[in-house]
A = this chain, B = another copy of it.
């Protein structure tokens, strides 16, 4: 029986595929028809450059091209789509559900998109056009138009009749949506409920009028949170007037959750969210370089702090040896707090309601760890440089307390402040944070040393 296990063994490697493209195009086409979109996506990602990807794209049948392209990061998707003619893109779009079709059309130039839309069957066009107006990262951008809706004055028997006639075209049907004469959502029922009731019963008697719904304009991160809170497999989407506009299924939310987590991780690591394994090294170097340049600026700032204490360092070189320890511990402790808060905000566990308590707790944790490591590093420093001894130990210990307290406090304050300013809390907060811990660390340690040792 197939599909029983899931090994990372594709039917063929990208090298073999490219080889086949040259030697036996017919058999490559045949192999491709047996593959899933995700497998084809992996083949694309494995290719060394866009030229090779474009060659493979030629041999993928129309009904799989869309699925394969949708597996790719946006930049690659756009690149590959730009190599297709509008009539080819139309063939891709035709085989997709409306939400996926919309994603493809949003990835091509507007002129091309308009040409493709013009070529579509009127029925497909009617479904896709309203979806195109929504932001890609909103509920409207995620939803699909394919759903099964019935009127609120129908009896169960009529619902079943219409369902038998039209329901076959919809994947993952699951729910029946009940609307009024203005198309406003009135209730939702699970497909299975239809099996347990009498044919003459009015549909509104079994429909759930309190079933959760989302607004087309809601951010996808919030939509994901609602899926999580209600543990549902699909949610209806309504517009400002309550009119049923589409539905979102949980499989699309899986992508959202992964995407948002990746975005936060990347931002915390000073990466562009578009950074991608498959893009050429020059593009990657450029993207990373921008953030490295920001970091260079903050590192120079820290060095300028050190430069204020040149005299102290010249007289007591031990200060230069020890000073990175204070800065490094602050950086790590601050990053711990920052990560907890950023993730907590993303998962809805840190809100403005508990922000103050969170901030106080992190400051206390900073103080506690600061006290503990003050003792440890104080002893180590005293023993390492016995000619200065206990005095040096006390100074580095104090600096450690100050810096870990600053780390805990700013690790919480920075993302909370950004959130208040409606900026993504993950964005640049790592850079700001390490600037704080470097500057405070160097200043506290070298400053105390200047006062008490010189």
Q: B-contacting residues of A (Cβ < 8 Å)? A: 1-6, 8, 13, 36, 38, 42, 45-46, 48, 160, 163-164, 167-168, 170, 172-174, 185, 190-192, 195-196, 209-215, 218, 222, 224-234, 238, 242, 249-251, 253-255, 257-258, 261-262, 264-266, 268-271, 275, 277, 281-282, 284-285, 288-289, 291-293, 295-296, 299-300, 302-303, 306-307, 310, 313-314, 317, 319-325, 327-329, 332-333, 335-336, 338-340, 343-344, 347-351, 353-354, 357-358, 361, 364-365, 368-369, 372-373, 376-377, 380, 434, 438, 442
Contacts and interface: CB of A to CB of B under 8 A. Distances in A.
A163 B364 CA distance: 58
A357 B213 CA distance: 45
A209 B2 CA distance: 8
16 contacts: A8-B353, A164-B196, A172-B190, A250-B253, A254-B254, A270-B335, A277-B354, A285-B372, A288-B336, A292-B333, A296-B376, A306-B321, A306-B324, A310-B317, A313-B313, A313-B320
A373 B364 CA distance: 39
Contacts of A325: 296, 299-300, 302-303
Given A174-B233, A265-B268, A300-B325, A167 B191 contact: no
Contact of A320 (B6, B191, B233, B306): B306
B261 A258 contact: yes
Contacts of A442: 324
A33 B307 CA distance: 64
A160 B195 contact: yes
B296 A349 contact: no
Contacts of A307: 321
A308 to B, nearest CB: 9
**How many copies of this protein are present in the complex?**
2
- Specify which of A281, A324, A377, A380 lies most central, judged by the most chain B CB atoms within 10 Å of its CB: A324
A277 B4 contact: no
Contacts of A285: 364-365, 368-369, 372
A10 to B, nearest CB: 9
B281 A368 contact: yes
Contacts of A261: 257-258, 261-262, 265
Given A289-B372, A310-B320, 10 more contacts: A3-B211, A4-B238, A174-B233, A258-B261, A266-B343, A269-B339, A285-B364, A285-B369, A285-B372, A299-B328
A402 B253 CA distance: 43
Contacts of A4: 213, 215, 238, 242
A167 B38 CA distance: 33
Nearest to A184: B1
A324 B302 contact: yes
Contacts of A380: 300
Contacts of A36: 229-230
Contact of A270 (B327, B332, B361): B332
